[in-house]
Amino acid sequence: MTPTLNPNLLLWVPLAPLVGCILAGLFGKLIGRRGAHTVTILGVAVAAVLSLLTLQDVLAGARFNATIYEWMVIGGLKMEVGFLVDGLTAMMMVVVTSVSLMVHLYTIGYMADDPGYQRFFSYISLFTFSMLMLVMSNNLLQLFFGWEAVGLVSYLLIGFWFKKPTAIFANMKAFLVNRVGDFGFILGIGLLVAYGGSLNYTELFAKKDMLAQIAFPSPLWGGEWMLITVICICLFIGAMGKSAQFPLHVWLPDSMEGPTPISALIHAATMVTAGIFMVARMSPLFELSDTALNFVLVIGSITALFMGFLGIIQNDIKRVVAYSTLSQLGYMTVALGVSAYSVAVFHLMTHAFFKALLFLAAGSVIIGMHHDQDIRNMGGLRKYMRITWITSLIGSLALIGTPFLSGFYSKDSIIEAVHGSHLPGAGFATLAVTAGVFITAFYSFRMYFLVFHGPERFRHKPFPGEHDHHDDHHGHDAEPHESPWVVWVPLAALAVPSLFVGYFTIGPMVHGDFFADAITVNTAAHGAMLVLKEHFHSAAAMGMHAFTTLPFWLALAGVATAYLFYIVKPEIPAAFARVLRPLIVVGENKYYLDWFNENVLARGARLLGVGLWKGGDTVLIDGLVVNGSAKAVGILAKLGRLAQTGRLTAYALAMIVGIVGLMSWKLWPYIEPQLKTLTGA
């Protein structure tokens, strides 16, 4: 017998964290620190348990798609709160709540001395509520609510230390860049509502063939634009902002100014994956436009490759992991572009665990290093921070795609899927994701070796690396130490799925029917998934076969190169830094995209605004139309006053002249022929 999903229990999945958020936020001083973390952790724990129960029922065949509350109806357009629970939703619910629960526990130790303790717990619980509303939605209105709510909480958390100027700059940057993406997103939603007449996913997908037939003249050049292509590109622009795809990625590295727990929760595991989730949910629409899919593929390829390059030259431990996140989000986007949606969300899931692990491990290192984040000031931490060391190693091995670990199954599936695509951008995508394997392994183990192995540079020992010319080494007299149990227990808990979840889930999620009713793929036109299924036999066989494949040897080469450069011969990167200085300068300036945004786009927009203000508003509207019309009336009034003499004879003369003039004008057609006759003209 197929189980059914109880809507009342489903409602408590997002509401339980919201209750914790309200109690910690409004009554934080009353209930104290212990009370704040107790109610928020309890709320997220309830959501996590209910999510696991929901997943269990979904695996048994249960589904749910219904309205919970109807807000209002405008001209037949229903605005409502509703849930759609299928394989995709259930997986996202478990990922969001489990990672959030680990982050909540970790925060007890990391934020122990922070005066904003209760406020922080309130914010991260509010984020959990917002993300759950996003992934559980069955309509575009609720999706957009969750979309904007996670953006709001991200803004609040990046700028959590609001007395820190760099944090305030970073949260404003994130807010503004995401407004660009959200402008495209709301245009896509508006077009769907205008032509589809509904906000509900099921109703819109039922009209997809009709939407695919609509075209309109191009406003820029000859020919026609297909409506479905415009809709999908607009929706994906929203995903570019939220999921930090080139060129709207610039906000995510700066978001590291916020406390480390939010880097793990928001900017690695959950919020930045919202765009990936949204495109996968909209797969019935994206499958109708090869142009949109190719756009997605190229953007993802650029992000995967070029953000990886930037990870190589970072020295802040959190920024290395941040650029790794950007690159991995690019991998997910590439999978979306080749119609391997299930592979994209599979990588989303595995990546959420090992990237949250890496961020929280970085936070543990920061605690142990007395809040120094520069990896050039570390080294030899393995013997001081054993648990952080081994969990970091597990996270790094999963990230680079070590056979049998979770990251291997998802990343290699993406690379294989790209080989099966025939889109125009597939060639470049193949190069990007294949080269990205070496780059990922190199920067990951560059960080790992510099932090946990080699000389103990925190004891004021000089490091003969590539940045010796900088004088920003500030060692520490106090020895590093392992973090408290509330910090390392979440690390150990996240290490387990980082090791095993890929092995046990690749079968049903990628090659089975777990996402069958959630994701639509036109395999006749986009055959990447057919290629994957043809070559897959079992998770064990895939792991064994990996040792003969190019990605494995590229990953091994990346690790070996990092070991040679930073343990055996640290003078080599110094030599490379001198030879490749122009390229490094470009990388240090992040391809000058920040400069372009601030000096060209921002200043250009400001100049345009000033021109419209002074030229349009001040001169044209205020000066000419408003004040000009008033002045014209004043001038006419002055002229009128000149005629008002107060003398009766002057008025009589004016009347006589007027009458004569009027009569002459009226009688002229009769007088003119007589005058011509008299004069002989």
- Helix (DSSP H) and strand (DSSP E) numbers for the chain: 29, 4
Q: Which residues contact 330 (CB under 8 A, 6 or more apart)?
A: 245, 246, 300, 301, 302, 303, 304, 305, 307, 432, 436
For the chain, what's the residue count? 681
Confidence of residue 468 (pLDDT cuts 50, 70, 90): very low
- pLDDT for 470: 37
The full set of domain ranges for the chain reads 7-462+480-568, 648-680
Rounded to whole angstroms, the Cα distance separating 393 from 502 reads 17
pLDDT in the model for residue 460: 54
Residues 6+ apart with CB under 8 A from 639: none
Is pLDDT of 464 > 70? Answer: no
Q: pLDDT by residue (tens digit) across 74-126?
A: 888 889 999 999 999 999 999 999 999 999 999 998 888 889 999 999 999 99
CA–CA gap between residue 129 and residue 446 (Å, rounded): 37
**Structure confidence at residue 218 as a pLDDT band (50, 70, 90):** confident
In this predicted model, what pLDDT tens digit does every residue of 395-405 receive, in sequence order? Answer: 999 999 999 99
Taking only the tens place, the pLDDT of each residue in 164-175 is 899 999 999 999
In the chain, what's the furthest Cα-to-Cα distance? 126
Q: What is the pTM of this model?
A: 0.88
Q: Is the pLDDT of residue 630 over 80?
A: yes
Q: Residue 462: pLDDT above 70?
A: no
CA 211 – CA 228 distance, rounded (Å): 6
Q: Cα–Cα distance between 87 and 34 in angstroms, integer? A: 36
* Cβ 448 vs Cβ 396: under 8 Å: yes
42, 15 in Cβ contact below 8 A? no
Q: Of 448, 431, 322, whose CA–CA distance to 385 is shortest?
A: 448
C-beta separation of 475 from 459 below 8 A: yes
Does residue 477 have a pLDDT over 70?
no
Smallest CA-to-CA distance from 98 within 342, 345, 264, 339 is with: 264
Indicate if the alpha-carbon torsion angle 330, 331, 336, 339 is positive or negative.
positive
In the structure encoding, which two tokens stand for residue 1, read together?
């017998």
| Cβ atoms 403, 547 nearer than 8 A | yes
DSSP, collapsed to helix, strand or coil, labels residue 614 as helix
Report the alpha-carbon distance of residue 74 to residue 297 in Å, rounded: 38
- pLDDT band at residue 598, thresholds of 50, 70 and 90? confident
Integer Cα distance of 413 and 411 in angstroms: 5
- In this structure, of 382-391, 575-584, 638-647, the range with the lowest mean pLDDT score is 638-647
pLDDT band of residue 154 (cuts 50, 70, 90) is: very high
The CB-side HSE value for 152 (13 A sphere, CA atoms) comes to 13
576-591 burial by CB neighbour count: b if 16+ within 10 A, else e? ebeeeeeebeebeebb
CB-CB contact of 127 with 265 (8 Å) = yes
How far is residue 417's CA from residue 334's CA, in Å, rounded to a whole number?
Answer: 9
Q: Determine the average pLDDT of the residues in 500-504.
A: 93
Reported as a single tens digit per residue, the pLDDT across 224-260 is 889 999 999 999 999 999 998 999 999 998 888 888 8
Residue 666 has pLDDT above 90, yes or no: no
Report how far residue 362's alpha carbon sits from residue 504's, in angstroms, rounded to the nearest whole number. 27
> What is the distance between the alpha carbons of residues 323 and 304, in angstroms, rounded to a whole number?
10
Alpha helices of 27-86 — where are they, by DSSP H?
28-59
Question: In whole angstroms, what is the distance from residue 104 CA to residue 37 CA?
Answer: 8
Cβ neighbour number for residue 633 with a 10 Å cutoff: 10
Q: Are 273 and 352 in contact (CB under 8 A)?
A: yes
Distance between CA atoms of residues 407 and 401, nearest Å? 5
Q: Under a CB-based contact definition with an 8 Å cutoff, are residues 36 and 66 in contact?
A: no
Lookup: tokens for 260 = 């480390």
- Cα-flanking dihedrals φ and ψ of residue 315, to 5°? -115, -15
Per residue in 306-350, pLDDT (tens digit) is 999 999 999 999 999 999 999 999 999 999 999 999 999 999 999
Find, among 317, 376, 308, 375, the residue nearest to 587 by Cα: 308
In the chain, the N- to C-terminal Cα span, in Å, equals 112
Q: What are phi and psi of 80, to 5 degrees?
A: -145, 165
Phi and psi at residue 456, in whole multiples of 5°? Answer: -85, 90
Q: Are strands 64-74 and 77-85 parallel, antiparallel or unpaired?
A: antiparallel
Q: Which residue has the tokens 């997002």?
A: 14
Q: Quote the tokens at residue 630.
A: 């008033």
**CA torsion angle for 592, 595, 597, 600 (degrees, to 10)?**
-110
The helix (H) or strand (E) run that includes residue 547 is none
Flag the least confident range among 29-43, 105-119, 626-640: 626-640
Sign of the CA dihedral running 447, 452, 454, 458: positive
